[in-house]
């Protein structure tokens, strides 16, 4: 633990675990940023769609709308994701 950083000699196992740690941190960072952006967008779109005339609190129907809207936004993300990836793999496939 103490030799975690800046040790002059690194055993192969040590280097392996540091490498894994670095990779995990990159993966986590990217996943987090992606999730945050998706949430921000869903928030923005659903506020626009569901809260047309802001009252003193979220009404029951506004909450229903928000909840459905969030589900639909995720569904839209999945449809778009599937379509885009299918298209990309078609285009990068060798021309027959």
Partner 1 sequence: MADLNPANFNFDDATRKELSEFLEKQQAQARLQGSILTFTSRCWDKCITGTPSTGFSRSEQGCLSNCVGRFLDTSIFMVKKIEADREAMGYGNAS
Residue 58: CB minimum distance to partner 1, A: 15
Binding residue for partner 1, selected from 2, 8, 60, 96, defined by CB under 8 A: 8
Residue 28 sits in the site that holds partner 1 (CB under 8 A): no
d(CA 39, CA 58): 19
Nearer to partner 1, 79 or 94 (CB): 79
CB 37 within 8 A of CB 5: no
Residue given tokens 């921000």 in the structure block: 40
Q: How many helices (H) and strands (E) does the chain have?
A: 2, 0
CB 62 within 8 A of CB 50: yes
Residue 73 sits in the site that holds partner 1 (CB under 8 A): yes
Residue 69 contacts by C-beta under 8 Å, 6 or more apart in sequence? 42, 45, 46, 49, 50
Which structure tokens are listed for 81?
Answer: 């994701």
Residue 79 sits in the site that holds partner 1 (CB under 8 A): yes
Residue 16: CB minimum distance to partner 1, A: 8
**Where does this chain bind partner 1 (CB under 8 A)?**
4-10, 15, 18-19, 22-23, 25-27, 30, 33-34, 37-38, 41, 45-46, 49-50, 65, 68-69, 71-73, 75-77, 79-81, 83-85, 87-88
């Amino acid at each position: 633990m103490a030799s975690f950083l800046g040790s002059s000699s690194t055993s192969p196992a040590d280097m392996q675990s540091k490498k894994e740690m670095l990779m995990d941190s990159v993966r986590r960072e990217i996943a987090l940023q992606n999730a945050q952006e998706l949430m921000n967008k869903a928030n923005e779109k659903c506020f626009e769609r569901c809260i047309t005339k802001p009252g003193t609190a979220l009404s029951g129907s506004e909450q229903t709308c928000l909840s459905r809207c969030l589900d639909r936004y995720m569904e839209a993300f999945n449809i778009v994701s599937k379509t885009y990836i299918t298209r990309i793999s078609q285009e990068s496939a060798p021309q027959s």
